[in-house]
Amino acid sequence: MEEFILYVDDKLELDEDQLEGYFEDPNMLERDFNLAPSCAFATIIPQVYEISWATSLPDLINELRKTYNTFWTKERLAKAKKNTKLSIGEVITLASIVQNESYIPEEQQKIAGVYLNRLNKGMLLQADPTLVFANKLWGVQRIYDKDKDIDSPYNTYKYKGLPPGPICLVKTQVLLQVIDLTKHKYLFFCAKPELNGYSDFSETYEQHTKYAKAYQKAMNKKGIK
């Protein structure tokens, strides 16, 4: 969220502290978006905004709110609630993780299903993208055991449930895949050794371990560290 605030501050004639204060104010976010400050990222629907450099803070928030409400129609809100049993802030948070796992629509639906199954069973999500966010490991291609030690609410290897809020700005097409996630019994997934954007899914840890070993072998062979 800090990057967004700095970007807006650079492009518009707005006070950075005032903008930051708005997104940190639980009363404002609850009133305008029904979201908590930890989900401030969820207020932004990625698209082209035509905004004057002299736009006031209320006008900027109004533009964000109009776009947010245009996307989150009553029908989509109802479908998201029915399919996931999660709040909208949680749906967007889940989608932010899924977006960092795969760029392939049908894979995103299956991966969202895996995470929802783990949530429903009270399992740790163990989502690598949350470790990248917590450790600020931008651009890395591989996660190591040492990265799992960080004490952060975004460390889903240490804390159960979803992280406090989204770990990135979520594309609308990913939100749509998560809303329409695939129902199945899978609890694990691992990138295929072909490294083609697809994953191998499994219901048991034993099978998952076999897939994980094949993936690690492929990564080692390519010298990816």
For 117-171, how does the pLDDT look when each residue is reduced to its tens digit (9 = 90+)? 999 999 999 999 999 999 999 988 899 999 999 999 999 999 999 999 999 999 9
Q: Are residues 192 and 126 in the same domain?
A: no
User: Which domain covers residue 48, as residue numbers?
Assistant: 2-71
Residue 189, beta-bridge partner list: 201
Q: Are residues 197 and 98 in the same domain?
A: no
Q: Are residues 96 and 173 in the same domain?
A: yes
What's residue 187's pLDDT? Answer: 99
Of 71, 106, 122, the residue at which a domain comes to its end is 71
Q: Are residues 96 and 60 in the same domain?
A: no
What's residue 186's pLDDT? Answer: 99
What's the CATH number where 217 sits?
3.30.160
Q: Are residues 39 and 56 in the same domain?
A: yes
23 vs 175 pLDDT, higher one: 175
Q: How many domains does the chain have?
A: 3
What is the chain's alpha carbon radius of gyration, rounded to the nearest angstrom?
19
On whether the CB atoms of residues 191 and 123 are closer than 8 A, the answer is no
